[in-house]
Structure 1
Amino acid sequence: MNFAPGVHKWALPPLVGAVLFTFVFPPLAALLLAFGLFALWNFRDPERHPPTVGIVAPADGKVSVVREEGDQFRVGVYMNALDVHVIRAPKKGYVDGVSHSPGANKPAFSKESENNERVDVDFGLFEVSLIAGWFARRIVPYVHDGDSVAKGDRLGHIAFGSRADVLLPPSIDRDHLLVEEGDSVRAGETVIAEVPDDDDV
């Protein structure tokens, strides 16, 4: 099993503490053990196998937003604390910019979460946003300006409950969308939109 960077910071201290307190104060040891195992689960990073056709989900979880913004559609995926929190590229592209914006700390499942701390990865014709939740507020992007990514490549990690949005290319219209709010998706594997014949994926 692979793990996202930073797992040692969250998992190792409570696991070590659990060992130290096992015979001193067992209830605390059990609590520390539970949190350490939860951190390991939250930072897991399983391999994914993207399909050859279509735009894929950027994150594991449930689709929480599908809406039109100007001439583009936004699809947002809410990740609860048990979902995989590694964010993946919905299609291939070149990174035009990576920007960090501080913000509020609202729960990631709420509409107000769009004002939370976030990292936006701009690919020119489309954009992926990593939005922190209320608990850890920890976003670690893996890509930088000028990077080339393939569909399904890892873009970053968000800890402990969060949201990932993709602002789809202008060539994608309502008829191309394959998901609606409430659907469950898997990062890098679930196709969320068909691609027009003239759109290079």
Structure 2
Amino acid sequence: MTLHKEGKKILFIALIVFAAIFYLLEYVIVTPSWLSNSVLGLLIIFYLLILQFFRSPKFVINTNEKHVLAPADGKVVVIEDTEETEYFNEKRKQISIFMSPVNVHVNRSPVSGVVKFCKYHAGKYLVAWHPKSSTENERTTIVVENGGGVQVLFRQIAGAVARRIKWYVKEGDVVEQGGEFGFIKFGSRVDVFLPLDAKINVDIGDKTKGGRTIIAELP
């Protein structure tokens, strides 16, 4: 298990702040030992929670041009045919994966190919399961065309807690299936839009592993 680069600054600042809090309680305010020890215990637990959030596991990725891999760890919350209005302007099959604060938050490309479209949108911070979060929240939309000419759109969506989306690709880049394309800090969701004739391999409520779970098969 390694630490993701997005967490290093946050973890360093948290360590300084938590150490300062304990120092003030122990040596400046001079609180009873039971209180300062209790606070220390809570600070350690909170720090470990932040630490686990920024974990970045390493594993072997089995690539397949026909497969669509989960872009994130989480739970499938939406499977439906819907009108995609930003890029395709036609009906697509949508799969949405909700990431809780305890999930790994590395975002991985569902398919290999060339980035045909990449756009960031500032927006609101509605809760991730709100019906309008996909079109009104802060988000980044990316479209990748695979070797067979099939285009897959995936969208990072910020939520009420997640207020920082990071992405590492731009139009024209070549991405590998399962390769890291971004990160969402402290939970939210990722939507994937597929051709209507794609075969869906997951159900509502299923747990996914980014870069490992095959959520669909392309025609």
Q: Secondary structure at the match of 2:201?
A: coil
**For the structure 1 residues 55 and 36, does the alpha-carbon distance in structure 2 shift closer, same or farther, using more than 3 Å as the test?**
same
TM, length-normalised to structure 1? 0.86
Residue number in structure 1 paired with 2:119: 99
Moved more, 11-20 or 70-79: 11-20
Residue number in structure 1 paired with 2:137: 116
The root-mean-square deviation of aligned C-alpha atoms, in Å, is 1.9
State the 1:161 CA deviation. Answer: 1.1
Residue number in structure 2 paired with 1:75: 95
State the 1:89 CA deviation. Answer: 0.6
Aligned counterparts, 1:146-185, within 5 A: 146-168=172-194, 170=195, 173=197, 176-185=199-208
Q: Output the CA distance in 1 between the equivalents of 2:43 and 2:153.
A: 38
Residue type of the alignment partner of 1:97: F
Identity across the alignment (%): 35
Choose from 73, 77, 82 the match for 1:64.
77
Q: Output the CA distance in 1 between the equivalents of 2:171 and 2:180.
A: 15
What is the aligned residue count? 193
Q: Output the CA distance in 2 between the equivalents of 1:79 and 1:86.
A: 10
Matched, 1:90 2:90: no
Gap regions ≥5 residues in structure 2 = 26-35, 83-89, 146-150
Moved more, 35-44 or 134-143: 35-44
State the 1:85 CA deviation. Answer: 0.6
- Contact 1:178 1:194 survives alignment (8 Å): yes
- Contact 2:111 2:152 survives alignment (8 Å): no
Residue number in structure 2 paired with 1:19: 19
Gap regions ≥5 residues in structure 1 = 197-201
TM, length-normalised to structure 2? 0.80
**After superposition, what is the alpha-carbon deviation per residue over 1:82-118, rounded to whole angstroms, capped at 9, x for unaligned?**
0011110111111122211111111223333222110
State the 1:188 CA deviation. Answer: 0.5
Which structure has the bigger radius of gyration?
2
